[in-house]
Amino acid sequence: RAQDFDGTYQGWASLVHPEDLPAAEARIGAVLSTPSFKTFEVDFRVIRPDGSIRHVRAHGYVVRDENEVPLFVSGIHFDRTNTVQAEQALRKRERDFSALLGNVSDLIVFQNLDLRYTAVSQSFVDFAGAKAPAEIIGKRAKDILPDQLASNLVADDATVLETGLAVIASEY
């Protein structure tokens, strides 16, 4: 909050999380010591007076004299806490999703509207005779499976697209 900052370097540094201060100072120091750098952007955490921690992105610029000597730094901090928390939650969901696909015994596939695989279970990888999901992702059934099996899967895909319901096939 603006009222928590007294406008000095020491005031700013006292708000930056101690674990993030060295990197933030290094980034800003590099800008100050390089005359061709006029602006900077740096992410760090701040500790608010109530003890809460917020993630911020600082956008700043250096005002220099006619000899390119820095006179002062000015800028603005954007609170990115919600974005950072959402990114962390998304990464956790992606890890959980990957763990699920890697350990489930069912043949599970996700496809885009072009019927290209976007995610597959390890069981499907084994079923398709591939070594890793990367060998399947971006391909269609006809690219990786025998013709009759691919035709059956494409028919099931058409049913899913028409009805919006999952197809549970017990055998292929």
CA dist 119 and 101 (Å) reads 8
Average pLDDT over every residue of 155-164: 90
- Which residues are CB-neighbours of 81 under 8 A, at least 6 positions away? 54, 55, 56
Tens of pLDDT, residues 60-90:
999 999 999 999 989 999 999 999 999 999 9
pTM, full prediction = 0.67
Mean pLDDT over each residue of the chain, to the nearest integer: 91
Per-residue model confidence (pLDDT) at position 59: 95
Q: Within a 10 A sphere around the Cβ of 48, how many other Cβ atoms?
A: 11
Average pLDDT over every residue of 139-157: 92
Three-state SS letters, the chain = CHHHCCCCHHHHHHHECCCCHHHHHHHHHHHHCCCCCCEEEEEEEEECCCCCEEEEEEEEEEEECCCCCEEEEEEEEEECHHHHHHHHHHHHHHHHHHHHHHHCCCCCEEECCCCCEEEECHHHHHHCCCCCHHHCCCCCHHHHCCHHHHHHHHHHHHHHHHHCCCCCCCCC
Per-residue model confidence (pLDDT) at position 19: 97
Per-residue model confidence (pLDDT) at position 170: 59
Q: Within a 10 A sphere around the Cβ of 107, how many other Cβ atoms?
A: 17
Tens of pLDDT, residues 1-54:
556 677 788 888 999 999 999 999 999 999 999 998 899 999 999 999 899 999
Share of the chain above pLDDT 90, in %: 74
